[in-house]
Amino acid sequence: MENVAASQPLHSQFNSALGARPQTLGEPASQSPFTSALTLDSQLCFALYTASLAMTKAYKAALERFDLTYPQYLAMLVLWEHDELSVKDLAARLGLDSATLTPILKRLETVGYVRRVRGVLDERLVLIHLTDSGQALKLSAAFLPNHICEIAGRPVSDLQRLRDELHDLKASLAGRMRM
């Protein structure tokens, strides 16, 4: 015997179970337990998006003294971990493509924090090196993580736990999107 419900899309199963008719485009959402999650403030994606905007804004104010933007700061963080990276490897670490990263690196080079050097054997390869000023910036910027924790008004342990949960969420989403 064929299970009719199993062959129907999930939203149709919910509507059938509730005795509801399908909603058409532009029609107001009916009040059911399944549509109550369709509000902006109930969306995880919106909470992540607005938290990201707020975090970027907090960093923006702190980074002005170094003539850095937030994306430039992220690139510097990676370079402080691993000096002499290829543009390709740096872009991969930041989750950017090379075309997006190139203007960031040009600006970092203009202010004297990095040098871009073409490969000797392969001119397509561009390596990024920290300058002495770029290395010194690491010491000057060392206050930033604690400063951001103070601005957030949350204990460091809470923010570390949140960071770890976000890394887990990202890994989970990335793993499921490859299916």
- CB burial class (10 A; 0-12, 13-18, 19+) of residue 5? exposed
pLDDT of residue 97: 93
pTM: 0.75
2: confidence class by pLDDT, cuts 50, 70, 90: very low
Strand pairing of 114-118 and 85-86?
A: unpaired
Please name the amino acid found at residue 7. Answer: S
Contacts of 81 (CB under 8 A, 6+ apart): none
Predicted confidence (pLDDT) per residue in 80-127, tens digit: 999 899 999 999 999 999 999 999 999 999 999 999 999 888 888 999
Chain segment 8-25, per-residue pLDDT in tens? 444 444 444 444 454 555
Greater pLDDT, 154 or 5: 154
Would you call 127 helix, strand, or coil by DSSP? strand
Mean pLDDT (whole number) for 125-151: 95
The alpha-helical segments, DSSP class H, found in 42-143 are: 44-63, 70-81, 87-94, 98-110, 132-140
What does the pLDDT look like over 34-67, one tens digit per residue?
A: 566 789 999 999 999 999 999 999 999 999 999 9
pLDDT at 135: 97
Q: What phi and psi, each to the nearest 5 degrees, are found at residue 148?
A: -65, -40
**Residue where the block lists tokens 């532009």:** 26
